Amino acid sequence: MNNTRLLYMESMWQTEGEATVEAVIPLEDKTIVVLDQTLFYAQGGGQPFDQGTIEGAKGVFRVNEVRFMEGVVKHGGMFESGSFEVGEKVKLHVEPARRALHSRLHSGGHIVDMALKRLGLIWKPFKGYHFPEGPYDEYVGTIEGDAEALRAKIEATCAAVIADKAETWIEFLPAGELVARGYDVPPIAPEKPLRLVHYGEEFAMPCGGTHVKCLAEVGTLRIRKVKQDKDHVRVAYEVA
């Protein structure tokens, strides 16, 4: 089976599109639909999957989960009516509210990265969790001084970053070019393209998730807690 073209990496703000059915696989508890290309974000990188519908001439498929496996995106769900035929052209409808929330949360995590950089905190990113249920960034580092004072300082700096209204833009680069520019190559599947996501001219990071067009769209970002755990620091946040 051919690798799925990841349209969501090329156009993060597109939620309507078209594709061709490559496979329909009935399982006991769900059906898997494979397309030649997809706008549906496949869960990974600390970001949840998209949901929505796929519509054909004689069927409507409800997408409940999306997974990326060995270059192929598998849309899991159930037919609300009819079915699809292999080779059929279908229309994709990603739930825009869910996508927008996940993009705001994901961008919020990188805004925390930007705030730490502005504050001169040289913590090494370790993990990002950008689900609606308790998002946080985790770093290898040490809190110097009072944690509550630092929490307030990071929150105020995040607000300043958002107020600058930086625009998001992307570049697709080979691994060698990323390294030449001083970035670590992220541990992603070899079938996925390497993409550098920029927030204005101040900040960039290799990332395969979805992001807001302008950082002002994140809204209000509150730092809930900054906590030291051995040699790691967790920065928990929320957006509103």
Any idea where the domains of the chain sit in the sequence?
Answer: 5-94, 98-239
Q: What is the pLDDT of residue 190?
A: 77
Give tens-digit pLDDT for 78-88: 999 999 999 99
For residue 189, the model assigns a pLDDT of: 76
Q: How many CA atoms lie within 13 A of 118 on its CB side?
A: 18
- What confidence score (pLDDT) does residue 184 get? 85
d(CA 137, CA 125): 8
Closest residue by Cα to residue 119 from 90, 150, 89, 73: 150
Identify the CATH class of 5-94: mainly beta
pLDDT at residue 127 in the model: 93
pLDDT in the model for residue 16: 98
pLDDT beneath 50: ranges in the chain:
none
The CA distance from 3 to 78, in Å, is 23
Q: Tell which CATH architecture fits domain 98-239.
A: 2-Layer Sandwich (3.30)
pLDDT at 120: 96
pLDDT value at position 1?
Answer: 78
Tokens at 54, concatenated? 């796929």
**How far apart are alpha carbons 8 and 33 in whole angstroms?**
17
